Structure 1
Amino acid sequence: MLIILSMSGTAIGQPSAPQERSMTAVEQVLVPRGGSLEAFYAARAFQVAWMREEQVQGLVEALKGVASDGLNPGDYGADRLLAGYRQALISDEHAQARFDIRATRALYTALRHLHHGKVDPHSIDPQWKVPINERLPTLDRIIQAVETGQLAALFDSVRPAYAPYQRLRQGLTRYRNIQRLGGWPMLPDTGPVLERGVTHPDVAILRKRLAQIGELEVMAADITILPEAKLEAPDPQYFDASLEAAVRRFQDHHLLEMDGIVGPRTREALNVPVDRRIDQIRLNLERARWLMHGLPEAFVLVDIAGYRVSYFRPNGDVWRSRIVVGQPYRRTPSLRSEITHLTVNPTWTVPPTILREDVIPSVRRDPNYLDRRNMQVLTPSGQRLSPGQVNWSNPGNVMIRQAAGPGNALGQVVIRFPNDHLVYLHDTPAQGLFARQRRAFSSGCIRVQGVLELAQLLLDDTGSDRDLRSLLAGGRTRNVSLVEPMPVILHYWTVHPGAGGRLVFRPDIYARDDALLRALDRPLASL
């Protein structure tokens, strides 16, 4: 058979062999491969994406904007991108590809940090149990934003959309403005107790300090401007009723006892530098990014450091109340679960830690301890023992259970949700603790003021069709399932927007802030 060859050596009339595509410069320098960067460039046939200076300028502006979220634009090289782009333009294609990948990596890193946080919560809290939503916008949405220059809108789309997050951002801006103006004046570390009726130079400093955070009505007029005028303004050094009211509001926003008196604890809170308050806001914005995505329509939110519980009901109403949480050495954990059932007229089986550290030592000191508290001693199989049968110096493997009744530590009802820490929401006979501003007194579980009302709302809102009062009246210990489970979130904030948008600063009862701040401020490896 005669075969005629073309000048290239290919047989005429025969199909051409497929030509190998040469690798682009982006493919050659993209290391490591895999993940979001390779997907981004694969969708663009591995061509450069940042072809116009206005695109890069838009990225720079978007990256600088994350400062309003408490993040550091320097982590993403925002101040070096334009110079890098201009240098790449006059270099070879491999330098251009390296710049392009660096810009895209900065974009993705910032989007992830802005969406679900820079710090992995597991790295600073090994017991962290709240799942993190890491879902970013679709690849098509990101590519479109890069090509059209709509990066500001892209960044806005990944910020938590909930009002508390926006109010924290606004608060950060407000406190940074105070910082730029030189901060607020400090009271002397030691000084007299300031209260209504007192005249003292520290009162004038107090007025200026409170005015810095919006208490403008306490400012005294400067009589040196118009010495002959009769000005309706307080004596700067006199502690009057309006100043007392402002001090009460300050105390309320810092979880201090609202007595209107500037004693040592209030003076200490007033003297926390504005820089420290800014750091607190920043790290609580980070905590919000861990949590505030895809929240359910209805859920129970336990604010641990704020000693509050909020139930966001399906009808849009919000039920709120005070809570008591775990002591610093028996911390209430952060977790996410679902409320599945209630226990009415509960008995209380003493948890192992409380049994070992509290109850057994009490029995050793007082032989009548168990009787007074209506507690029974049981074997692991549930067989009842007489307390006299137990060697309390070495009791072995015994259980102690408190019978249902008015003195039961769990009160009349327990709200239960599966979790590894065996914590739950419950009633309590110790109602007086709810009157305190700071309420870290429990052994990890959450005592709820007005928990019977909350329990009935949960029954009503989940279609469970049960009357709690009737269940309680029977006196029998029983579990009552919810027809539909209700999501519950336990989380820890040391700053939170209060009524009127004012920020409420809470004591860091579990000493978690410093570790988070160090992690948040740790520089990233070079992009």
Structure 2
Amino acid sequence: MGQLTRLFVISRVFFMVFLISGTAVGETSPIVPVSPASVSVLGAAPDDEIGQAIQAQLEPLQSAFPPLLTSRKHQRVDVARVVLDFYSHRNFRAAWMNGRDVSQLLKGLDDTQADGLVPADYRAGELAQAQLALQATAPTPAQWAAFDIAATRTYVTALLQLRRGKVDPARLDFHWNFEPEGIDPREDMNTFFTALDDHDVARAFAQAPPQEAVYRRLRESLAQLRKVRDAGGWPKVAEGQSLKPGMDNAAVKQLRARLEAAGYLDPHKSKRTDYDDSVIAAVKKYQFEQYLGADGVAGAGTLAALNVPVEARIDQVRVNMERARWLLYKLQGTFVIVDIAGYKVALYRDGQPIWRSRVQVGKPFRSTPVFQSEITYVTFNPTWTVPPTILVKDMLPKIQQNPGYLAANRIRALDRQGNTLDPSTVDWSNARGITLRQDAGPDNSLGQVVIRFPNDYAIYLHDTPHRELFSKSMRATSSGCIRVENPLQLVELLFNDPVRWNAAGIQRQLANGKTQNIKLPVKVPVLLAYWTVDLNSDGRVTFKPDVYGYDSPVLRLLNQPSKLPALELQRAEPSLVVTGQDTL
């Protein structure tokens, strides 16, 4: 036993597993004890000896953790701590001595591919080989113990990644603040381990992923895209020239085949070569759903989108399934959600959408951040204080070129004390200490109303005089804030007061011309999220341009191995050799 203990002391770092979960999961603390059911033992070694071996192999972990872990932002579930707590509460009794449980575990690991994860991450093949080796020989208690611990660690890792996500979004965005309020990781652990004790591991794998309909539809879309891939992919369309109505050639035949494969064109017409009205309608529908500008002409942008390999679209769905594991738990009750990449906003009540509108979001170099907050008040007839970045990069060049720019746009220059300055007396080549503020009015950059929520980015929802931009397909046109096409409708719904704050009451408030802040009677959660797929009412998945380039970093981390310890039975040694790294 001394050699085994030394081995696990050396490998101690490999057990310090921090699950890169999809959401912050609160303080990591011991799981609540469960009542293990009896198990049928396949091996010859008695349970008590295996339990002693389990305890010995976990002994280095017992000194690795403090009695209580202090709470910190973005706390991740520590799998090693979960494993230690699990065995401690069951007096280190083995959990995987029933062969059926192991078979269900292996199948569950293989089935994670349906959720866009990679089964090889979990070393299922090594577990299967180790199980066969244990059953074919006379294993020592130490070998049984090491296999049992490895199976538990893998079980917890896979289920938590299905439940909360594999990638930690806080690694991608330091300001990530979607805290999982009301979600207790201990409850998840108890659910998983109760299923194990009930010999129903399959139930744990079925219940771990999000159960919302949108997630099921993403899973179905992923399966369908993989069928397309396995059948050879989508037909290619020759690029190099725009395909237009009235044309009749082989490239149009390819276009028809591609549109038919995606469900946009009647399959009975796909073999023709002419660009008729049916092709125009199909191309317009495709362009509209792909945010390309629906003109019915298959130009360079449309052809490039059509020719994106199905493998890339599979990865795009996988990335958005990961985002769903991060966020779907937040989409409950009443809330506002801004779909940044989709240029739209929706208000949900009792979990159902009751209002939608188009929005304009930040330009790629002034991207709208991803975060959550609560809408607390509305500003009617707002003034606009020009943010420092816009002042330096946008306003100063205009003022320097046109001294009358400020007056033409009803913008006042203020000193540090808030006193109005004569613009002609300001040295605009050195405008330190100067604040620019635009007076309220119909041409104000914030329009008639601002919907405000606390955040560190000076971001809010607001009206805009630039209404012509809502007709564009790509609407990354603002300096970071969210311009809403129909903001007064949203304000009415947020107040939810048909007596005072109906449409007429809001118009009366605007008519007085005063800049005034009015608190909402109830705070409303607002989530600024980023999705690059849409699910249509007919079940089809469509793809948005990744305007901020956020998909690639998620995909890179999603494809990285979880680095669970390797598992190898060696006949010459009475133990399992642990190699590799155990940090997810």
TM score, norm. by length of structure 2: 0.81
2:339 is the counterpart of 1:291: no
- Say if 1:464 and 1:483, in contact at 8 Å, map to a contact too: no
1:77 aligns with 2:105: no
**Partners of 2:351 and 2:190 in 1: CA distance:** 36
Deviations 1:268-317 (A, max 9, x none): 00010000000111011111111111433010000000101010024945
* Residue aligning to 2:82: 36
Aligned-partner residue type, residue 156 of structure 1:
A
> Which position in structure 2 is the counterpart of 1:510?
548
Higher radius of gyration, 1 or 2: 1
Deviations 1:135-161 (A, max 9, x none): 444444222211223223222322122
Residue of structure 2 equivalent to 1:102: 150
1:41 deviates by 1.0
Which AA in structure 2 matches 1:306? G
- Aligned equivalents of 2:174 and 2:52: distance in 1? 44
Q: Which secondary structure does the structure 2 equivalent of 1:484 belong to?
A: strand
Of the structure 1 ranges 473-482 and 463-472, higher mean CA displacement relative to structure 2 is found in 463-472
**Structure 2 residue 448 is matched with structure 1 residue 420:** no
- Give the drift of 1:465: 4.9
- Larger deviation, residues 384-393 vs 195-204: 195-204
Question: Partner residue of 2:254?
Answer: 205
- Counterpart of 1:365? 401
Percent identity over paired residues = 41
Q: Is the contact made by 1:218 and 1:242 (CA closer than 8 Å) also made in structure 2? A: no
> Does the C-alpha gap of structure 1 residues 381 and 296 become closer, same or farther in structure 2, counting only changes over 3 Å?
farther
- Aligned pairs (5 A) from 1:309-458: 309-314=345-350, 316-458=352-494
Picking from 486, 506, 512, the partner of 2:524 is 486
- In structure 1, runs of 5+ residues without a counterpart are 1-20, 221-233
* Alpha-carbon offset, residue 368 of structure 1: 0.8
Distance 1:461 1:297 in 2: 18
- Give the 3 Å change call, closer, same or farther, for CA 462–113 of structure 1 in structure 2: farther
| 8 Å CA contact retained: 2:265, 2:279 | no
| Aligned twin of 2:311 | 275
1:47-126 aligned at under 5 Å gives the runs 47-89=93-135, 90=137, 91-126=139-174
CA distance in 2: counterparts of 1:206 and 1:468, whole angstroms: 50
Distance 1:44 1:315, change over 3 A: closer
Contact 2:332–2:351 (8 Å) recurs in 1: no
Secondary structure (helix, strand or coil) at the match of 2:346 reads strand
213, 217, 236: which one aligns with 1:167: 217
Alignment partners' CA distance in 2, 1:92 and 1:462: 74
Q: Displacement, 1:66? A: 1.3
Distance 1:470 1:366 in 2: 37
| Structure 1 residues 457 and 376: CA distance shift in structure 2, 3 A | same
The 1:74–1:51 alpha-carbon spacing in structure 2 relative to 1, beyond 3 Å, is: same
One-letter code aligned to 2:516: R
Stretch deviating more after TM superposition (28-37 or 87-96): 28-37
Q: What is the CA distance between 1:435 and its match in structure 2?
A: 0.3
Superposition RMSD in Å: 1.9
TM-score (ref. length: structure 1): 0.90
Matched residue type, 2:219: R
Q: Is the 8 A contact 1:254 1:505 kept in 2?
A: yes
Using the alignment, how far apart are the partners of 2:93 and 2:131 within structure 1? 16
Q: What's the CA shift for 1:218?
A: 4.3
Cα distance change of structure 1 residues 138 and 437 upon mapping to structure 2, 3 Å threshold: closer
Aligned to 1:16: none
Partner amino acid, structure 1, of 2:551:
D
Q: Would the aligned equivalents of 1:193 and 1:262 in 2 still touch at CA under 8 Å?
A: yes
Q: What does residue 239 of structure 2 align with? A: 189
Q: Counterpart of 1:56 in 2: which secondary structure?
A: helix
State which drifts further: 28-37 or 423-432: 28-37
Does structure 2 conserve the Cα–Cα contact (< 8 Å) formed by 1:496 and 1:503? yes
In structure 1, distance between residues paired with 2:498 and 2:532: 32
Q: Helix, strand or coil: the match of 1:292?
A: helix
Q: Against the structure 1 CA distance between its residues 461 and 47, is the aligned structure 2 distance closer, same or farther, given a 3 Å change threshold?
A: farther
- What SS class does the counterpart of residue 507 from structure 2 fall into? helix
Q: Which residue of 1 aligns with 2:277?
A: 241
Equivalence for 2:575: none
Deviations 1:146-181 (A, max 9, x none): 122322322232212222222111111110000000
SS at match of 2:365: coil
Query: Number of residues paired by the alignment?
Result: 493
Shift of 1:342: 0.2
Q: Are 2:180 and 2:330, in contact at CA under 8 Å, matched by a contact in 1?
A: no
SS at match of 2:473: coil
Contact 2:336 2:345 in 1 (8 A): yes
Residues 75, 524 of structure 1: 8 Å contact kept:
yes
Distance 2:304 2:259 in 1: 14
Which deviates the most, 237-246 or 349-358? 237-246
What is the one-letter code of the residue matched to 1:32?
A: L
Q: How far off its partner does 1:101 sit?
A: 0.8
The 3 A distance-change label for structure 1 pair 509 and 48 is same
Deviates more, 1:258-267 or 1:158-167: 158-167
